[in-house]
Amino acid sequence: MNALRCVLTVAGNTMREAIRSRVLYTLLFFAILLIGTGSLLSTLSYVERERILQDVGLAAIRIFGVAIAIFVGIGLIHREVDRRTIYTILSKPISRTQFLVGKYLGLVATLWLQLAIMAAAFAGVSLLAEAPFGAGHLAALSLAGVEFAVVVAVATLFSSFTTPMLASLFATGLWAIGHLSRDLRQLGLQSNDVVFRHVAQVLHRCVPDLSAFDLTSQAVHGLPIAASDLWIPWIYGMGWVVVLLGIASFVFERRDFR
């Protein structure tokens, strides 16, 4: 019970810190601006105006959400060590893992709050442009939230043992590979090069497949989305969160704070 209280206290404080960050508001402002710009871009085309509007809007939400996840996530632990605020916290009856999980949950909660704000802006722009907004869009937004949770876990892992600069490089690299790994695996399967086939296969297994969280196309085109299209990626994403935080905790528990 006390463990949960510790985790929630750290999470609450992380949310409070993130909400007071200017970087976050700047990114949120540009995200909403880009969602709004979608309606302007859609006027450039005579056909599929609604599709362009929603493509741009959902892409803006995902890109800015991931940007916030990486830029805030990479400093999540490092900032605490650098400012030495971690000394007083870890001298209290809280384990390092509880602290790490609390920091993680705080940032994920902040990102989901931001996602809700961006989703409301997206829904508003869609309704103004008389574009459809329904369950498919909500499903796509929900999986964007899972992708953010996975990316924050990646950033937290790197933040637990390296500098923000390296962590941002690693996290961005892993995010890019995560989006390409499915295509790479397909290429590998069609390739005659055994080494490339194996490398593509290993990459696909060892890196979160972030394209699994992309329902943009189905949502925008109004294609049917089965329940399994939602819950399987949710479980897959949460599985990766547990693995990534597990590794982060293993590293963090053994770290010396000099």
Partner 1 sequence: MKSGVRDVVVVEALEKTFRAGLLGRKKKVLDGISFRVGDGEIFGFVGPNGAGKTTTLKVLMGLIRASAGRATILGHDVAESAFRRQIGFLPENPYFYEYLTGREILRFYARVSGVPRAEIDARATRLLEWVGLSHAADARLRTYSKGMLQRTGIAQALVHDPKVVFLDEPMSGLDPIGRKEIRDLVLRLRETGKTVFMNTHILSDVETVCDRVAIIVKGRIRYEGGTHDFLDEGECMSDLVLQAVPPALGERLEADRLVVRGRGDRIELRVRDKEVGELLQVALAAGARIVSVSPHRRSLEEIFLSAVAHQESASAAGMPR
Using CB under 8 A, list all residues that contact partner 1. 2, 5-6, 9-10, 13, 16-17, 20, 83-95, 254, 256-258
Q: How far is the CB of 99 from partner 1 (least distance, A)?
A: 9
The span from the first CA to the last CA of the chain, in angstroms, equals 31
Q: How far is the CB of 151 from partner 1 (least distance, A)?
A: 25
Which residue, 20 or 227, is less far from partner 1 as judged by CB?
A: 20
Q: How far is the CB of 21 from partner 1 (least distance, A)?
A: 9
Report how far apart, in Å, the C-alpha atoms of 43 and of each of 54, 59, 109, 119, 134 are: 13, 18, 35, 21, 22
Which residue, 18 or 141, is less far from partner 1 as judged by CB?
A: 18
Which residue, 52 or 101, is less far from partner 1 as judged by CB?
A: 101
Residue 112's CB is within 10 A of a number of other CB atoms, namely: 17
**What single letter denotes the amino acid at residue 255?**
R
Q: How far is the CB of 157 from partner 1 (least distance, A)?
A: 21
240-248: long-range contacts (C-beta < 8 A, 24 or more apart)?
240/150, 240/153, 240/208, 241/149, 241/150, 241/153, 244/150, 244/153, 244/154, 244/156, 244/157, 244/208, 245/100, 245/101, 245/104, 245/153, 245/156, 245/157, 247/157, 248/100, 248/153, 248/156, 248/157, 248/160
Cβ-in-10-Å burial (0-12, 13-18, 19+) of 87 comes to exposed
Q: How far is the CB of 12 from partner 1 (least distance, A)?
A: 9
How many residues make up the chain in this entry? 258
Q: How far is the CB of 94 from partner 1 (least distance, A)?
A: 5
Which residue, 17 or 229, is less far from partner 1 as judged by CB?
A: 17
Q: How far is the CB of 152 from partner 1 (least distance, A)?
A: 20
Report how far apart, in Å, the C-alpha atoms of 148 and of each of 71, 110, 195, 238 are: 12, 11, 32, 11
Which residue, 195 or 258, is less far from partner 1 as judged by CB?
A: 258
**What single letter denotes the amino acid at residue 92?**
K
Which residue, 86 or 243, is less far from partner 1 as judged by CB?
A: 86
Which residue, 96 or 137, is less far from partner 1 as judged by CB?
A: 96
